[in-house]
Structure 1
Amino acid sequence: MSVDVYSEKASCERLLSVHRWTDKLLTFRTTRPAGYRFTAGQFARLGLEVDGEIVSRAYSITSAESGEELEYYAIIVPGGKFTTRLDAMQPGDPVWVEKLSYGFMTADRFTDGSQLWMLATGTGLGPYLSILQQKDVWEKFQDLVVVHCVRNREELAYADKFDALRAQAQANGLPARLHYLQSVTRESGDDAVLSGRITTLLRDGGLERATGLAIDAAHSRFMACGNPEMVTEVREILRERGMTPLRRTGGGQFVTEDYW
């Protein structure tokens, strides 16, 4: 798409900073368009100019709804047009942000339940960072559970952020308890990090043992974001346990989003 055509639906913003977790994982921030609104858990469509044309991709917003800047968590795809360009960018370079936000994986869609389970592989962690920066989610649920599964320990980003969110909630007297579980699939686990895929830990009770919580349709609400194979299997497991997808008309215990 040409720059002129794309500019009709997007705002030209600026790259503010890049934080590299590994050679392939990075967090980047941009300026926020005037009047831009989103609900925590939604994603933005971003555009970069490559050879005179705009290449656009969707990225979940990891910053708070009220943040002055927009933050995203990304993986560099070898040979990918967008991320190859992103990887070479410097602060001050232009990033196009579409004027609308997208997506339905938001915590405010759940009307009941006392536990919110947020399952993620890789950069699927992104939307939960935004959700947990919203005060109302800490007031709505008794237990908030984040499960982040990656291949190797070096890919376990944002641990300090979750510690800070927990401490901030406690300091503000917010009632929910945050359980943050990390898991790796290509290394051995220990007391701090679990070993195994999310779906394996969900099937064999490993997540329940690690949190001390019982999963059931009456109290447990689920979000799953990441690898499409993981998301598909999570849906199957939850259906086996008597749960159904969340619908716009109400009812249901889980909502999912494929992340590539």
Structure 2
Amino acid sequence: MPVSTQDVAEQKEEFPLPKATFAEKVISVEHYTDRLFKFRITRPASFRFRSGEFVMIGLPSEGKPLFRAYSIASPSWDEEIEFFSIKVPGGPLTEHLQKIQPGDTIWMRQKSTGTLVMDALTPAKNLYMISTGTGIAPFASVMRDPEAYENFDKVILTHTCREVAELQYGVDTVALTKEDLLVGEEAKEKLIHFTSTTREDSAQNGRITNLIEDGTLAKVTGLPDLNPETDRVMICGSMAMINDLKVLLEARGFEEGANSKPADFVIERAFVD
């Protein structure tokens, strides 16, 4: 179970902090559905990361601590760290993580990493961030980073979920981005938010790969079909979506990139939602 801040002294004796790990305080928690929630924690003064990266987090516990990879949903300039999580019944970590309250303690590893970063892409006109479920988290970070608007003419976020309520985190975050003092003006001009659902009726229904292939994405956004000459793509979400979209992009001439070899599209392979 989470440990309250008033028990920090006892916690240090009962649950020794692992090496290369921060112990941070939960600032806020917001539950969106019975499956999804976000939370924010304090940011260590020495912690540095690139927007779009992930970090390992866990809870104080007896025995060997359990850590899981979580994308950082706040931009690199934020004074707090935000995460967006799914609730997994019986999940070794999320079963307890979903019960956290402000004041509880979260363990976070000191090193972040990941491929959903600007450094892994070559220059182009448009940036597409394609997500399903909690795969939107790294893009909540990227779309609030000034670099996204400095590097691209348009920044397109797509988010596909089963039901309309599961899209709300993205809707809220896009709205906050457009009102942000740092990037708001550019976001209002350049940021496009495209949503779809697969089980409940909404403005757009269907898997994102189908909506790309049948021209719906291009029609709704007012942009041409995906083209490696003008577009760069970041992908995060279900493994089925990642695999299908990888095939689709490569068939159109896109090449997969990495931190060591920037190219046309990148995939976060550390985890799936």
Q: Aligned pair 1:181/2:191, yes or no?
A: no
Corresponding residue number in structure 1 for 2:65 = 54
Instruction: Say how many residue pairs are matched.
Output: 255
Q: Give 1:53 deviation, angstroms.
A: 3.7
Ranges of 4+ aligned residues in structure 1 off by more than 6 Å: none
Moved more, 246-255 or 15-24: 246-255
Bigger proportion of residues as strand: 1
Which amino acid in the other structure matches residue 72 of structure 1?
F
In 1, Cα distance between the equivalents of 2:205 and 2:106? 38
Which amino acid in the other structure matches residue 166 of structure 1?
K
Moved more, 118-127 or 101-110: 101-110
CA 71–248 in structure 1, closer or farther in 2 if over 3 Å, else same = closer
TM-score after normalising by structure 1: 0.91
Moved more, 244-253 or 155-164: 244-253
Corresponding residue number in structure 2 for 1:163 = 175
SS at match of 1:128: helix
Q: Aligned pair 1:100/2:100, yes or no?
A: no
CA 170–39 in structure 1, closer or farther in 2 if over 3 Å, else same = closer
TM-score after normalising by structure 2: 0.87
CA 66–237 in structure 1, closer or farther in 2 if over 3 Å, else same = same
The superposition leaves residues 67-90 of structure 1 with CA deviations (integer Å, 9 ceiling, x where unpaired) of 111110000111001111112222
Which amino acid in the other structure matches residue 267 of structure 2?
T
Q: Residues 126 and 231 of structure 2 are in contact (CA less than 8 Å); yes or no, is this contact kept in structure 1?
A: yes
| Identical residues among aligned pairs (%) | 34
Moved more, 164-173 or 105-114: 164-173
Q: Give 1:179 deviation, angstroms.
A: 1.0
Q: Residues 120 and 266 of structure 2 are in contact (CA less than 8 Å); yes or no, is this contact kept in structure 1?
A: no
1:205 aligns with one of 196, 212, 215: 215
Which amino acid in the other structure matches residue 179 of structure 1?
I
Corresponding residue number in structure 2 for 1:253 = 264
SS at match of 1:70: strand
In 2, Cα distance between the equivalents of 1:39 and 1:170? 16
Q: Aligned pair 1:12/2:9, yes or no?
A: no
Corresponding residue number in structure 1 for 2:96 = 85
Which amino acid in the other structure matches residue 133 of structure 1?
R
Name stretches of at least 5 consecutive residues in structure 1 with no aligned partner. Answer: none
SS at match of 1:79: coil
Q: Residues 121 and 266 of structure 2 are in contact (CA less than 8 Å); yes or no, is this contact kept in structure 1?
A: no
Q: Give 1:157 deviation, angstroms.
A: 2.3
CA 165–102 in structure 1, closer or farther in 2 if over 3 Å, else same = same
Q: Give 1:203 deviation, angstroms.
A: 1.7
Moved more, 248-257 or 110-119: 248-257
Corresponding residue number in structure 2 for 1:31 = 42
